Amino acid sequence: MATDKRELAVAALQCGTVIDHIPSEALFKCVKILGIETMPHKLTIGNNLESKRLGTKGIIKVADTFFPEATLNRIALIAPSAVVNIIRDYEVVEKRRVELPKVIKGIVKCDNPKCITNNEPMATVFEVVDGAENLIRCHYCNHTVANGKANIL
């Protein structure tokens, strides 16, 4: 079968998860948060693809894998625009946006060097600040940081 060599062929997923509309700059952080670096399944990662909404976007396709909702929502911190597609038998059976959880455990590093979380072997906890524009606050030292600038562990 002749394939146009000017275009990259990416096989459609038979079964698995596609995460689309990831801001380009957040793509590799999402890869890290989802822990897919060590997965044995077929994996496609695309970045700087054209997007009407975002300018450029990233996309992640993982075959034969369905993430728990809580795991997917962890990327909402840095990729609030991301859309999750669940594929079964080449069909999109579910499509939804990620939602930022109220409490974020163990993802964000507190950038206050004097915070207890940076000095004890313990998980960080951040809470979304009530009504504030994309701000999260360290549960321990009360230091606040803008979502987009969060330092991912």
Which one, of 109, 43, 55, 46, lies nearest residue 77 by Cα? 109
Considering the complex, what minimum distance in angstroms separates the CB of residue 49 from other proteins?
A: 38
Kind and range of the H or E run holding 73: helix 69-73
Q: Does the footprint of other proteins cover residue 40 (CB under 8 A)?
A: no
Instruction: Please provide residue 37's backbone torsions phi and psi, each rounded to the nearest 5 degrees.
Output: -60, -30
**H/E run at residue 34:** helix 27-34
Binder of other proteins out of 138, 145, 149, 150 (CB under 8 A): 138
**Tokens describing residue 2:** 């002749």
Based on the shown chain and the rule CB under 8 A, indicate whether residue 146 belongs to the binding site for other proteins.
Answer: no
Q: Pick from 54, 83, 115, 128 the residue near other proteins by CB under 8 A.
A: 115
Q: Which of 48, 56, 142, 151 binds other proteins (CB under 8 A)?
A: 142
Q: Which stretch binds other proteins (CB under 8 A): 36-44, 63-71, 85-93, 109-117?
A: 109-117
As measured in angstroms, the least distance from the Cβ of 143 to other proteins is: 7
What does DSSP say about strands 83-88 and 91-97: parallel, antiparallel, or unpaired?
Answer: antiparallel
